[in-house]
Structure 1
Amino acid sequence: GQIVAEQLDPCIDLKPDLISLCAGGNDVLRPGGDPDKIADILDNAVAKLTDTGATLLLFTGPDIRDTPVLGSIRGKVAIYNENVRTVAARHDAIVADMWALQELHQSQMWAPDRLHFSPAGHQRIAAMALDSLNVAHPLDTEIVPAVDERSWREARKEDLQWAREHLAPWVLRRLRHQSSGDGITPKRPSATPFAQTKPNDSLGAGDSAK
């Protein structure tokens, strides 16, 4: 709902060639989240974005099979993903399928909160998105599985620590209909051109650019 209310019109005003939309995951995870009703909101948004003529890229949710607690609502995520694919087919959009990324079952693909992706996870998803668009890229997609050398006791101790630091606050926010992003301003609130400056190779030791 926030994306539709706050981001759709500014996106359309940009007259984009490509629109990527990854949305609905937090709504599905919330208690009482209905994957069908959420998909209806997505469908209406995509219908409006289709009129721009831009290429549309829609993301499914990841397979949370091995995620503590959240794994219990894996079926809701699967239903939502099927709805995403249906919306994509209806509006001729491209699907970036995170559910199919088996690499995301590796622990190093997730941040310490086990709710968000790590830098390595984001890079793997970025590579998958580029592959979905048939865009060549140099991103490394080889993932070496991490070997879990913890004892059972050590693993359970870390689970308890994770539950205190991350799971309990997350559950409380869901019950209060709050987001961890509430009150946080965006790094780039306005849609402006992004340019990355390259290092000045002509500078010598001790020189500086101003």
Structure 2
Amino acid sequence: MIDVVTLEVFNNRLKAIAEEMQFTLERSAHSPSIREGADCSAGIFDRDGNLISQATALPVHLGSLGPAIEGMVKAFPVAGMKECDVYIMNDPYAGGQHFPDIIMLVPVVHEGRVVALVCNLGHHQDIGGAAPGGNATNTTEIYQEGLRLPPLKLYDAGVPNIAVEAILRANVRIPDIVWGDLVAQTAAAFVGRQRVRALWQEMGGGKFDEAVRSLQDVAERMSR
């Protein structure tokens, strides 16, 4: 049984991790849309894809991250995820929003087992398509809107997928900025992964999982 003081401390530590992810993304980004406009979000999820904590950013993003995570773990089951894997997607038909919003997922792994997931979203300044910025209002089909990314592995156990990078760079107008923002998203996710794993190790898996369930129960009761 988690007492209320421990639960509140746990809740605020998770919030601090999410805020640090958000801060890292904003400070590391190349584009003004993320660096100055803060058009990005970060959150921490349990291994089943349920939200645990989120940064104070754009909640509208985080409301869509659950379906996006569901789409990614359908393509790449959690049981097969490895340390330093990085997954991305922007496909609305797999849980994404519009094409400029690229969603990134990184597993938190301890002794070969995924114990949590960290996720972030960044609005990219270009994603190809008929109009710069990927926000054309006169398109007649999805193929005109830009580069559609189904769930993909950007890094496989820390090894970059150079084919994905080449495809991205070849299909956007500002490749260095777009790729730079993806690197910033990766840095933010790795910060979150490191902090969540340290907290999990400090508390122990059983107590961490119990605290997560308690937080989610409190959130459910408050929303009813």
TM class by smaller structure: under 0.3
TM-score of the two chains, using structure 1 as the length reference: 0.28
- Structure whose CA Rg is larger: 1
Name the TM-score, length of structure 2 as normaliser. 0.27
Structure richer in helix, relative to its length: 2
More strand by percentage = 2
More contact order relative to length (CA 8 Å, sep ≥ 6): 2
